[in-house]
Amino acid sequence: MNVGDKLRAIRKKHGLSQRELAAKAGLTNGTISLIEKNRTSPSVASLKSLLDAIPISMAEFFSILEEDDSAKVFYRAQELTEISPSHQGGVSLRQLGNAAHHALQVLHETYEPGADTGPEFLSHEGEEAGVVVRGSIEVTVDGAVSLLNAGDGYLFDSRLPHRFRNIGADPCEIVSACTPPSF
């Protein structure tokens, strides 16, 4: 999200030091330092205090923040966001960018040995495709089964039931794309 950089930019634009803003908001300069360096995620109440003191509304703040986010082009590995609920069953799905604002969703997927998505019966429209980057994986699409190795790929209609299982001994990595994005 990068609340820190945006807060710092706005604070400086208004010619305030961390201490000045802290005094107005009823917080401390240390807190602002931590927030601006993204070493902590402020509570909604704290952030509101800060923005009220500038002043700028929460809606405005997140509006320009998310606008910036959707204009973002380059992403560091650590900036990909995990969208698999709590690494369920050794499956990691790391999404590039904020898919809600784009027509294209790209995932960096990792399947630990034994990982299994289970047979999902998704019904959303669109297509999915991917390339195996490392290891191997068994992919089932609408009954058809195939073992894909590094360099192999797949492409199918999202409405078809599909399943990924890592039956090998090593982790498997895939880079995939969906359009439109699915959640």
Partner DNA sequence: ATATTCCGTTTAATATAATTGTCAATCGCG
Partner DNA sequence: CGCGATTGACAATTATATTAAACGGAATAT
Q: Which does 23 bind (CB under 5 to 8 A by kind): DNA, a second copy, none?
A: a second copy
Residue 171: C-alpha distances to residues 55, 109, 165, 166, 182 (Å): 50, 10, 11, 8, 24
Look up residue 136 and give its two tokens: 């191997």
x/- letters, 38..77, toward a second copy (CB under 8 A): ---xxxxxxxx---x--x-xxx-xxx-xx-----------
Task: Identify the residue among 3, 141, 150, 177 touching a second copy (CB under 8 A).
Answer: 3
158 interacts with a second copy by CB under 8 A: no
CA angle 154, 158, 163 (to 5 degrees): 60
User: Whose Cβ is closer to DNA: residue 36's or residue 109's?
Assistant: 36
Q: Which does 20 bind (CB under 5 to 8 A by kind): a second copy, DNA, none?
A: DNA
Q: In what order do the strands lie in the sheet with 136-141?
A: 144-149, 136-141, 162-165
Q: Which does 34 bind (CB under 5 to 8 A by kind): a second copy, DNA, none?
A: DNA
Query: Minimum Å distance from CB 113 to DNA?
Result: 24
Q: By C-alpha distance, which of 64, 117, 61, 125 is closest to 87?
A: 117
Q: Are 90 and 112 in contact (CB under 8 A)?
A: yes
User: Whose Cβ is closer to a second copy: residue 44's or residue 73's?
Assistant: 44
Q: Looking at residue 181, what DSSP letter applies?
A: -
Query: Minimum Å distance from CB 15 to DNA?
Result: 9
